[in-house]
Chains A and B, each alone.
Chain A
Amino acid sequence: MISLYFKHALRDIGKNRFVNAVSIITIALSVIITCSFVLFFINTSEILTLWKKGVRIMAYLYLDVPAEKIPEIQKKISGLYSVEDVRFISKEEAFDVLKEQMKRQSSLLENLKENPLPNAFEIRMIASSQTWEKIENLASQIQSIPQVEEVEYGQRWLARFSYIINLFKLSGYALGILFSVASVFIVANTVRLVLYSRRDEIEIMRLVGASDGFIKVPLYIEGIILGALGGIIGLIVLFTTFISITSNIDQGITSGAFQISFFSYSSMLIILISSMFVGWFGCFLSLKHIIKREL
């Protein structure tokens, strides 16, 4: 019986090519629009996470802080919430690093009578605590230690950037949900159009003794096939566009440490199953209207 249903479904798709093509294109467009948003946010969050990983807080001490106080301050900072690791950078070490970095202009440094750099601590945070509120909170706690002159956390601009991205993300999710819901209804209406053109056929089938299952199952299979085709076409178009865009993007934006990525195989499978579901659900909604309960 199932093979008969499949045969009917495939034959009907072939017979109603135009309307079915409209259904497939609608599903494909929905996949492209919704997945473009998702892809954009996956990649921007990846970049942000990568950048955030590099966030460290530098605490510079007053020049007159005696050396014996250093372990005490280090202990104090280590005891603060969300601190993973505290490394002491002595003024000498900092000076060596500076010299190393300046190489050619190191003669400038040689003329200095004394090392102008302060002792400092480099603080790394626990990965899970790297929200901007927590980073700021920790920075102000460190700042309140009397021996600390200045606290600096590089890439402060990231906070602003991530705020904007979050704002984008929120509107993106809203749009994504809106598009998904809209696509279900567009597909439902397109399928309804197909079924409406076949309502006489459905009526005749009922009159000759066809059960609801005999009528509905091929139509459900048809909906699922249309969904799958729409999903596959959508993914192919998305992938082709993705490849052509990423090949033109300057990899410098991502510092080469990060590759802009497409969906994983499992995500693509989820997208495919979702579009099949949309096809089926559209069919289900329409059939509910067309096959009215009788008696």
Chain B
Amino acid sequence: MNENNENSLIRMFHVYRRYGSKAALFDINLEVFKNEFIFITGPSGAGKSTLLKLLYLGEPASEGQILVDGINLARISRNRIPFLRRKIGIIFQDFKLIHSKTVFENVALVLEAAGKPRQFIQKKVGSVLRAVGMEDKQNSSPLSLSGGEQQRVAIARAVAGDPTIILADEPTGSLDAESASQVTGLLKDFHIRGSTIIVATHDKEFIKKSGGRAVYLKQGRIQPPPA
């Protein structure tokens, strides 16, 4: 684990996350390799979402070390956090789209925040919306879209900045079977194109279809998967 593997993208060493006296994660040791498709699975409340939050600094680890693409998260300065987040595309179960912005503007936001030029943004947003099949809805409000469509927009936003890692927190959790299958397909596509994908889910079907490695969490600890 401590060996320096140049293929390794994320490394977690003895990571704990505590809320007061209550701990959500215990002694997590995990390594994720480049272009890997990995699942964090386990029952509700096992700490799957918390683990993902630690990776994009939605929350800090209480103890231990986390390295993401060579960045030590324990030592990162506040003004470098946006740069870390630009390396990571995040997909949430509740989509987290800005309702006052159009589909196009939601996706463009990532590139505007990264200071990309206008023409580039126009082109790039068009191409990612095409990739998720939402090109014709680019001027719509997210509120006028179905759950599946909103999640596709969220995926487009997550990949628009060409991130090194894509984190997806229960991406199919609130979708019907057909939409879930489309989202799964999209994530597989991006994996084939070279992205490293980490998905927190308890959707066994999703795991089976994707065929990636699964890390089983129970009560905040990594454990062998149940038989």
Contact = CB atoms under 8 A, between A and B. Distances in A.
Interface in B48-80: 56-58, 60, 76, 78-79
Contacts of B161: 208-209
A211 interface: yes
Contacts of A211: 79, 82, 113
A7 B157 CA distance: 21
B86 interface: yes
A15 B81 CA distance: 29
A185 to B, nearest CB: 27
Interface in B98-119: 98, 100, 109-110, 112-115
A210 B109 contact: yes
Contacts of B137: none
A253 interface: no
A4 interface: yes
Given A207-B85, A209-B85, A295 B57 contact: yes
Interface in A60-110: none
A238 B61 CA distance: 57
Contacts of B120: none
Contacts of B90: 207-208
Contact of A214 (B56, B57, B83, B113): B113
Interface of A is mostly: helix
B214 to A, nearest CB: 25
> How many residues of A sit at the interface, in one of the four size bands?
20 to 34
A49 B47 CA distance: 77
A210 B79 CA distance: 10
Interface in A9-43: 12, 15-16
A207 B96 contact: yes
B106 to A, nearest CB: 9
B32 to A, nearest CB: 20
18 contacts: A4-B112, A12-B100, A204-B96, A205-B98, A207-B56, A208-B85, A208-B90, A208-B109, A208-B110, A208-B113, A208-B161, A209-B83, A209-B85, A209-B110, A211-B79, A214-B82, A294-B81, A295-B76
Interface of B: 56-58, 60, 76, 78-79, 81-86, 90, 96-98, 100, 109-110, 112-115, 157, 161
- A-B pairs with the 7 shortest C-beta distances? A210-B113, A209-B86, A209-B85, A211-B82, A208-B110, A209-B82, A201-B98
Given A204-B96, A294-B57, A294-B81, 18 more contacts: A4-B112, A16-B100, A203-B96, A205-B98, A206-B82, A206-B85, A207-B58, A208-B85, A208-B113, A208-B161, A209-B84, A209-B85, A209-B86, A209-B113, A210-B82, A211-B79, A212-B79, A295-B60
